[in-house]
Amino acid sequence: MSDKNTEIVTAEKSKLSDLIRKEDWLAIWIGFIFIAAVTIGIASGAYDLQAAKFATWGKGEAAFLDIFKEGTIPNLILTFVIFALLFGIGAVLQKKSIREFIPAFLGLFIITTVVRIISAQVIFNRYLEFAFWALLIGLVIANTVKTPKWLKPALQTEFYIKAGLVTFGAEVLFSNIRKFGLYGLGIAWIVTPIVIIFMWFLGTRVLKIKNKSLVITIATATSVCGTSAAIAVAAASKAKKTDLTFAVGISLIFTVIMMIAFPLFIKLTGLNELMGGAWIGGTIDSTGAVALAGAALGELGQTSATLVKMIQNILIGFVAFAVAIFFTASEKKESKSSVGIGEIWYRFPKFILGFLAASVFTSFIAQNLFGAEATSTIISNLGQFRTWAFALAFTSIGLETNFGELKEQFAGGKPVTLYVVGQLFNIVLTFAAVWILLSGTFFPVPVLN
């Protein structure tokens, strides 16, 4: 065999090897194993596969011990087994030690379980997402008693994030567009890219922040939906863990402020529920906080807010896709080498394709084959697997980060300025879009059932 043929065969073997050894591809397979297992169970009626979930507890809710009701502990063990098995196989395929991974993963899972229990407390559950508690508890451990070495083989932040994002793709339904039509698209899809572009130029040209991955992560967290969007774009732009920590942290802080202040401001100004809800949906970062703030206005306000946010969430995959291509091309340009399609594909984060494929599956296949109700159940069950993957990721970030690294992100206050100015621009622009589309001045006011 000639040297040229040998090179071709070697390249083909390398491509096939990537499918079972590269983290991006393994994340896709794990995500689709979750999706397939849940879907088959619901569609066939043979079983109802769910990851462990803790009921909200505290004043006015269940007592603390009641969250460990019958079935919770077995389901928690099942969740551990599923995650340990899939990510353990992933570790082996990436030529990592399974003997080191399993005990380390057990330790990480126990810490993450504590995070999930704390975040289920009624007050914490209402105002702060699990990501906050995962980061906080991880950071406290890492910066006091120190993260033990035996735990480190399980701290595979990017792997958990990517698999969680593929699973999350199944929750993004294109059918939500039909419920609010062009109104929702106008508010969510026109404003969002304008805010991203504005914040990108503000961060890189005006504030001259050199860390471009941090800029785009903050910009997307601000304009799309906080934590989930930040996770997707941070992975797509190959941002550092501290970049993601900062973007999520500042997003969560302002989410709490806005979810309390916005409904009060809307009521004081006399803005109607439809417009107020849409304004909330287009500006508050977290989907859960949007639903809660919208509910403070009334049923119509909650419906309007949730629909706008859901339509906005559809952009996550597309934005991550665009960011991945942009950063891949920029990386090659900075290295002064040619940018070919093959090179872009090689460097492109493949998990984004898994996210989009999962969204297409539930939007156009599952809904048509199994119906809206069954698809809703599938999405609900997958949501818990996604939450566990993200919780494992954020706990890992906390355990790997020291406060000295985080201080660097506050250098000169520029990232905070970027978020605050960007969010104010987002608020003003979203209100303008809401008024133009929903005030009745230019277009008929839509009726949401």
Tell me: do 277 and 245 sit in the same domain: yes
Tell me: do 256 and 202 sit in the same domain: yes
Asked whether residue 5 carries a pLDDT value surpassing 60, the answer given is no
Question: Residue 30 class from Cβ within 10 Å (0-12 exposed, 13-18 middle, 19+ buried)?
Answer: buried
Tell me: do 289 and 424 sit in the same domain: yes
**Residue 11: which pLDDT band, with cuts at 50, 70 and 90?**
very low
Domain annotation covers residue 322: no
Tell me: do 168 and 184 sit in the same domain: no
How far is Cα 246 from Cα 160, in angstroms, rounded to an integer? 19
Tell me: do 309 and 217 sit in the same domain: yes
Contacts 24+ apart (CB under 8 A), 268-274: 273/297, 273/298, 273/300, 273/301, 273/304, 274/300, 274/301, 274/304, 274/438, 274/445, 274/446, 274/448
What pLDDT score was predicted for residue 203? Answer: 96
Summarize the confidence of residues 204-229 as an average pLDDT: 91
Listed range (173-187, 413-427, 428-442) with the worst mean pLDDT: 173-187
Summarize the confidence of residues 82-88 as an average pLDDT: 97
What pLDDT score was predicted for residue 371? Answer: 92
- What is the torsion angle, in degrees rounded to the nearest 10, for the CA atoms of residue 259, residue 264, residue 269 and residue 270? 100
**Residue 200: which pLDDT band, with cuts at 50, 70 and 90?**
very high
Listed range (79-83, 176-180, 250-254) with the worst mean pLDDT: 176-180
> Who contacts 270 (Cβ-Cβ below 8 Å, separation ≥6)?
none
Domain annotation covers residue 23: yes
Tell me: do 138 and 21 sit in the same domain: yes
What pLDDT score was predicted for residue 14? Answer: 52
Domain annotation covers residue 329: no
Tell me: do 77 and 123 sit in the same domain: yes
Asked whether residue 12 carries a pLDDT value surpassing 50, the answer given is no
Reported as a single tens digit per residue, the pLDDT across 27-56 is 999 999 999 999 999 999 999 999 999 988
Domain annotation covers residue 1: no
Tell me: do 366 and 432 sit in the same domain: no
Tokens of 348: 């492109």
Residue 197 belongs to domain spanning:
175-313+410-449
How crowded is residue 352: how many other Cβ atoms within 10 Å of its Cβ? 29
Domain annotation covers residue 9: no
Summarize the confidence of residues 408-431 as an average pLDDT: 89
Tell me: do 303 and 415 sit in the same domain: yes
Domain annotation covers residue 390: yes
**Residue 7: which pLDDT band, with cuts at 50, 70 and 90?**
very low
User: What's the whole-number average pLDDT of the chain?
Assistant: 87
Asked whether residue 286 carries a pLDDT value surpassing 90, the answer given is no
What percentage of the chain carries pLDDT values higher than 90? Answer: 53
Which of the pair, 345 or 49, is modelled with greater confidence?
Answer: 49
Summarize the confidence of residues 426-430 as an average pLDDT: 96
Q: Where are the alpha helices (DSSP H) in 147-272?
A: 157-169, 176-185, 191-201, 212-223, 227-236, 241-269
Asked whether residue 4 carries a pLDDT value surpassing 50, the answer given is no
Domain annotation covers residue 154: yes
How far is Cα 161 from Cα 9, in angstroms, rounded to an integer? 33
Asked whether residue 61 carries a pLDDT value surpassing 80, the answer given is no
Helices 157-169 and 372-400: angle between axes, nearest 10 degrees: 160
- What is the torsion angle, in degrees rounded to the nearest 10, for the CA atoms of residue 43, residue 318, residue 423 and residue 301? -40
What pLDDT score was predicted for residue 27? Answer: 94
**Residue 342: which pLDDT band, with cuts at 50, 70 and 90?**
low
Summarize the confidence of residues 392-400 as an average pLDDT: 91
Q: What region, left, alpha or beta, does residue 371 occupy, with left being phi > 0 and alpha being psi -120 to 50 degrees?
A: left
- What is the torsion angle, in degrees rounded to the nearest 10, for the CA atoms of residue 231, residue 237, residue 241 and residue 245? -50
Tell me: do 234 and 88 sit in the same domain: no
Listed range (247-261, 332-346, 397-411) with the worst mean pLDDT: 332-346
Reported as a single tens digit per residue, the pLDDT across 357-385 is 999 999 999 999 999 999 999 999 999 99
Question: Do the beta carbons of residue 115 and residue 140 sit within 8 Å?
Answer: no
Tell me: do 298 and 387 sit in the same domain: no
From residue 257, give the alpha-carbon distance in Å to each of 201, 287, 427.
Answer: 26, 15, 14
Listed range (82-91, 247-256, 327-336) with the worst mean pLDDT: 327-336
Strand partners, 62: 57
Choosing from 404, 423, 438, the residue where a domain stops is: 404
Asked whether residue 223 carries a pLDDT value surpassing 60, the answer given is yes
Which of the pair, 440 or 406, is modelled with greater confidence?
Answer: 440
Asked whether residue 252 carries a pLDDT value surpassing 90, the answer given is no
User: Taking Cα atoms as reference points, which of 259, 244, 221, 284 lies closest to residue 134?
Assistant: 244
What pLDDT score was predicted for residue 351? Answer: 82
Domain count, the chain: 2
Domain annotation covers residue 321: no
For 121, the 3-state DSSP assignment is strand
Tokens of 13: 């073997």
Summarize the confidence of residues 119-144 as an average pLDDT: 88
Asked whether residue 9 carries a pLDDT value surpassing 50, the answer given is no
Tell me: do 85 and 126 sit in the same domain: yes
